[in-house]
Amino acid sequence: MSDGNNEQLGKQPAADEETPSPSENENAPQPETGTPSESEVPAEPETDGAAEESDSAEAADETEEAASDDAGAFAEETDPLAATDEIAAADDASAADATEIMHQPEANTTQEGAETSPDDASDGKASSAKKAFPKQKAIRIAVAAAVAVGGIALIVNFAIPQFKYSQAESAFESGNYDAAISGFDELGDYSDAASRKTLAEQAKSYTEGASALAEQRYSDAIAAFEAAGDYEDAADQLTEAKNARAYEDADTNASKENWADAGKGFMNIQGYKDSTKRAADCAEQLIGAEDYGTAYNILRQLGGDYADRASYASDMSSKADQVTKAERDISNGSLADARDIYNGLPDDFSYKGTSVATRKSQLNAASGAIDVCGVYRSADPCQLDVTQTSKSTGAAYYWTGDGVNSNCQLKVTGKLNDDGSVTLSGTATFGRYTNFSINSSLLRGDFVSKDFSITTTGAPGDVPVDDETSLRYDGAWHLNWKTVVTNHDLYFNYTYTASYTYTR
């Protein structure tokens, strides 16, 4: 304290003055509150003692702070959530101490120059020490609070996500993929959580695919392994699932004797189980069913040991195709083309119930009729006439015209009957006059068609058409047509004729 304060406190007792012991003053009457006794001597301010008390308080606070830090550190090493609770408790205790200290009443101060009692002086010294103590304590509390907030932020931003990440990893390793997916999803963009979530999803799909494959639910297995992407051997498992499903489908078709689809199915997965052999077996069934083309396509792709059978199926397929075309020509009336095809096939071949030897014999025997078939065009001589004859005198007047015209044709087709005979059918088109006039420019005409049919095994000769028309074949076709009109008027009869020749 300063000298001025000492003067206000009064004269200090001398060192050799005798101070009453506590025992001597025990029975002495105590002064009333606020009134100092005359025999009471002001106590010497124990400044050194106050300093020691302050130092002790600081040491205690430092020890408390260190203990709090150690507790927080230990909590962080064990459980991040427990560490948060410990630090929060330490902050609450520090805040309570600060509140208690800051709310203690300050010592009464006196106006400058006022006298102060020895007790007031003692209270003033204690008050000065107390004022210094809360300021230092508040600083330490602020620092501790800042450290605590930083620690909490560290826990929230790093320790807790790391803890959740570890939980998700544990779930992944134990095969609890749903929990792993959920855990990594909650972490958002923390570390590699997004890629780990994708990996967990793929692992889940892979596991589901493996279960479906084992249970022969091949479609489900394929979908799951496709979703698994490049996880482990998902690509190989996907191939296995596809092959298994294809094999199952092919086996079902084979059980229904649907050899074409079964053979194609087994062929597409040749090398899987016994699919190659089963594809070849289906091809043999197809050969037996005279489906040579499909059998050839299967055996050709099998190759190797099946090359000879593929060659045989190819040859048989070619012959079958020729028979098919020849029969189509027969249906269309192109018997000459059909005869030429059959004459190029071996007698011992048959296809779909049709014997080459039988067809060849029939067509060759009917060659005379078959050779008539075709298209013929009008050629010289062709003539058309109209004659007017008087009913009373018999006098006649007529006109003659050239009948050659590109519209005048004769077409003949043939139908091979079961007994080997041929029914020839055709249509002949020719021109004619339709009126008479003494003026040639007033003559009119048109085209008319006549149908005919005859059954024979050779050349037809004369072919009846109708009462007005006759037809004859001698290497060329000859048509004659005639009609007489008697009721056109009272004085004349009219005769219309046409003569046509048709050649190839």
Counting Cα atoms < 13 Å in the Cβ hemisphere of 111 gives 1
Instruction: Return the structure tokens found at 391.
Output: 């009913």
Task: State the pLDDT at residue 333.
Answer: 85
Q: What is the distance between the alpha carbons of residues 181 and 199, in angstroms, rounded to a whole number?
A: 9
Task: State the pLDDT at residue 492.
Answer: 96
Task: State the pLDDT at residue 97.
Answer: 46
* In the chain, where the domains are located: 257-365, 373-503
Task: State the pLDDT at residue 155.
Answer: 67
Q: What is the distance between the alpha carbons of residues 69 and 92, in angstroms, rounded to a whole number?
A: 14
Question: Bigger pLDDT: 157 or 180?
Answer: 180
Least confident of 9-13, 126-130, 194-198: 9-13
Task: State the pLDDT at residue 153.
Answer: 62
Query: Which residue reads 């320790």 in tokens?
Result: 159
Task: State the pLDDT at residue 152.
Answer: 73
Counting Cα atoms < 13 Å in the Cβ hemisphere of 38 gives 0
Encoded amino acid at 121, one letter: A
Q: How high does pLDDT run on average in the chain? A: 80
Looking at the predicted structure, is the pLDDT value of residue 53 above 90?
Answer: no
In degrees, to the nearest 5, what angle opens at C-alpha 122 toward C-alphas 119 and 125?
Answer: 150
Instruction: Return the structure tokens found at 305.
Output: 């040991």
Looking at the predicted structure, is the pLDDT value of residue 246 above 70?
Answer: yes
Instruction: Return the structure tokens found at 37.
Output: 């006794």
Residue 452 sits at φ, ψ, to 5 deg, of -145, 165
Strands annotated E in 391-421: 396-402, 409-416
CA-to-CA separations, 456 to 256, 323, 339, 370, 472, in angstroms, rounded: 48, 24, 17, 10, 14
In degrees, to the nearest 5, what angle opens at C-alpha 219 toward C-alphas 214 and 222?
Answer: 80
Alpha helices in 371-470 (DSSP H): none
pLDDT over 70, % of the chain: 69
Q: What is the distance between the alpha carbons of residues 437 and 417, in angstroms, rounded to a whole number?
A: 50
Looking at the predicted structure, is the pLDDT value of residue 313 above 60?
Answer: yes
pLDDT over 90, % of the chain: 65
Least confident of 67-76, 119-128, 308-317, 374-383: 67-76
Looking at the predicted structure, is the pLDDT value of residue 85 above 80?
Answer: no
CA-to-CA separations, 82 to 63, 260, 285, in angstroms, rounded: 22, 73, 78
Task: State the pLDDT at residue 83.
Answer: 42
Interval 437-490: pLDDT, tens: 999 899 999 999 999 999 999 999 999 999 999 999 999 999 999 999 999 899
